[in-house]
Structure 1
Amino acid sequence: MNPLPRNLSVGLAAAALFLAAGASQAAADAGSPAAFAIRLPVALAADAPLQRVALPAEVLVRLQSPGYADLRLFNGAGQPVPMALAGVAAARAPETSVVLRAYPILGPAGTAGSAPLEGLSLRIEERQGQRVVRVNTPGTANAQANQVVRGALLDARSLRQPAARMALDADLPAGQPVTFEVQASKDLKTWRPLAETVLYRADAATAAPAAAGRLGTEQIDLHHAELQGHYLRVTWGDAAVNLRGATLVTSQGAVARERVSARLAVPPLAHPRELVLALPFATPVAALTVTPAGSNVLIPVRVLGREHREQPWSPLASAVVYKMAIGGQEQRSGPIELGGASVREIKIEADAKTPGFAAAPEVALQFEPVQLVFLASGPGPFTLAAGLPSPPAAASAYLPLASLIPGYQPPQENSLPLAQADVARADLPGGLPAGGALVPAAAASDGISTRSAVLWGVLLAGVGALALMAWLLLRQTRRADAPVPAAPADAS
């Protein structure tokens, strides 16, 4: 029997066992808290099966998958708990209610709709301690008879915040839909439309017991209009309406989500107009802040990125970075938006018409806030783990929110109790740096990349294996071709 097939079978079997062992090791790593780069204790909220935890910067700067695939939450038994990935909704600013008194607008009787008020100015008169607003026209300016209420005026000049919505305090005629139009003006002469709504009051004598007393949109959306220094005019045509006033809800609107920030440990500057940084993570970057060293410095820059050294540079953003003293206060440039780019190398290029950077600038990263929604199943304590050298498939760890939260309605996840990841007790080799998350960025070189080194290593190993097989084949062939020595003759 030729031993070559047996050697080849043994080699193939060994390679298959090696690959299977590697796959098993990757699966075991994803299911073992000790295999992750960082582990943080999580303190749960009391008596809540469904909770959420915000991902701190210390976690985001150690993920090796742009889809957060190398992130797990383990219970005390070392088992991953069911979880879903979710963004963080923008918070809403606090709202304030302001009650405005209505001053009736008197106009001539017998006119229909609000059209007679268009293009005409109003004047405010004091009458026995009360304000009355009149339509200022030549034919009616001095007329005292045949005046009816054509609308109402609200004084909103003292408002400091934008108006979100308005509710009218009015008596409506029964069984008649009434259209209210809301307009704004600074001079009581030129008006701009803001909103309108239709309200209806059922006749108490004929309405069914289950019928609603008032129909229509009671809250008039004003779309956060800036009304400081303005008057509001509410008109309703010929309907017999008694408007006593209105309640305005003011708010600054949605507050921008606070991003998660991390400092970048910038290496010494090798070229004044070029800084290339290798990032040790794959988390998408929302923005980058660059603060030049020195004082009274202004530099136009370009930011470029790429996944690895074999790729060409792709432009990400252009901006002007500066640090200067204005009016006795230091002013610094804001963040440079990168749009959630996931790159492993970033190049910051200074404009060729400038001297560039005198020293390495301060660089900070900003990430969009992300939270884990999870089911606190199993015993405690719970551990948040992040960062694997070879992250598993992106879709393997997370459930849809609709599967995790019964009867899910967006954004229901933001009302869940908030668990806390204890960054101060993080299990990290070498400990955590002082002053927040610090990304140990290295200066990217033009040498061979890790990816290329691995590919070359695999290629050389394959060539070596082929060479070994060829040598074994040649050796077996020589043995088969060697002459068989003759048997010695019998002396007898």
Structure 2
Amino acid sequence: MKRVLIAAGWCFAISSVWVSTAAVAADRFAQRFALELESGAAYYSVPLSAPVYAASQRNDLGDVRVFNGAGEPVPYSLDAPRESARAPATLRTVHWFPLPPAASGGTGAPLGVTIAADGSLRATSAPPDRAQHDADLVDVAREARGEALVDALIVHVRDDNYQGRVSVESSNDLRSWQPAGEAQLLKVSYNGSTLSQDRIELNGMRARYLRLHWLDGAPYVESIDAQVQMASAGAAQRADMQRQWREGIVARPGPKTGEYFFESGGPYPIDRLRLNLPQPNTVAPAVVYSRSGLDAPWREVSSATLFRLHNGTVEQSNPSLEMEPDTDRHWRVVVDTRNGGLGSGALIVAAGWRPATLTFVARGAAPFTLAVGNAAAVSSAVSRADLLMGASSVAVTARLGEELPVGQEADAQLSGKDPDAMRRYMLWAALLLAVASLGAIAWRLARGAQGQVAPQAGGVADGGGGVAGAAGAGGLAGDALGGSGAASATAKDAGTASADGQNTGKK
């Protein structure tokens, strides 16, 4: 029983050393950032910046912590941006009116157009010739009916080939106009297929009228559709966090023609990719893959036809690729090379994502810091509901400040040294000592077992030897006695023979 208790004690000691080592390792982080707060609030929230993602060593941001001035961790929640509850967008065909140059810059109803009592527009004259046509007036009030927002205009061009820029203005009274954006339209037909870019993004604008100025010549417009949605959904969409971008990622060519590889550099929840082609006048279909590690299989996340077309002073490229948020670090682009692929030069990638929001309780004294960068750390975040516990106070927005100097242990991590070497050596020493102790216990148990078995075996051997010795002695004695008897008998026979001879002689 004593030996069992000793072995259990060694196992407990080993487990304690292992747990304490892991717990200490979870408190060391490669980078720290200052948190700038307004005093007096109980809760603070801060969106995570790109340097935090780049420093994280876990795809789930499980190594993010918040510490107070005493170095104590404080409770926090980590929330990914939610998708806005959006009503399905609908396409509605809108009316448009070609305008001559003299009418496109005036105030009030332009020439050849009148305003009805309900605010809709009516044409009063024939449209101008294409040579004199440089703008279009779009009536979105009739179809949007005031309760919807305009996400985009889709301009259907009848020309087989068109490429040009368009500037957009908005107004509610046809008198005051505000800039609403600029876009590039494209339509290229080749070998029975058509490549088009016919969308003008307006980002949930509320306006009655839009004016399109064609900067590179007006196309032959066949029809115009407005993509509209309910105002509440548009408000939710505008409330989303601003997307962050990491620019200038160079994709390296792979071993196969048409393959390009790049790394995101952190667990960014990427939902947009911009692939900037190296040469103008390039059109190539492509498929995008990602994976979490070098041993994981590739999975397809998006596909599109990439293009970069140059026409005079106008250059147009494919829009960003959209996908579900993806935290994988390794990416692969496979381009169709049947028409030459991308040609020479480097493929430059830009990755976009919406950052997560960290909310924490301001427990303890300032200054508060955000720490990140420890692969051994496990997430200790709680849900936002559990963190707030129904509190009526609203989380105040904090700001992520400058990066702070790291400690010696973090310096060792960054410089390639191993800060866990001493603890690992101690753990191995404890393991070896425990194994040696268990071996000594086993040896002593074996010796004790042999000591108990040996006397019993010796007694049996001695008894057997005694019996064998007695039997041998008896046999030898018998032989000896038998020999003596034989000798006496022989002597007796000899005496008898001698006496017989003497008797015969006398006769």
TM-score of the pair, normalised by structure 2: 0.48
Of Structure 1 and Structure 2, the greater helix share is in 2
**Structure with bigger gyration radius:** 2
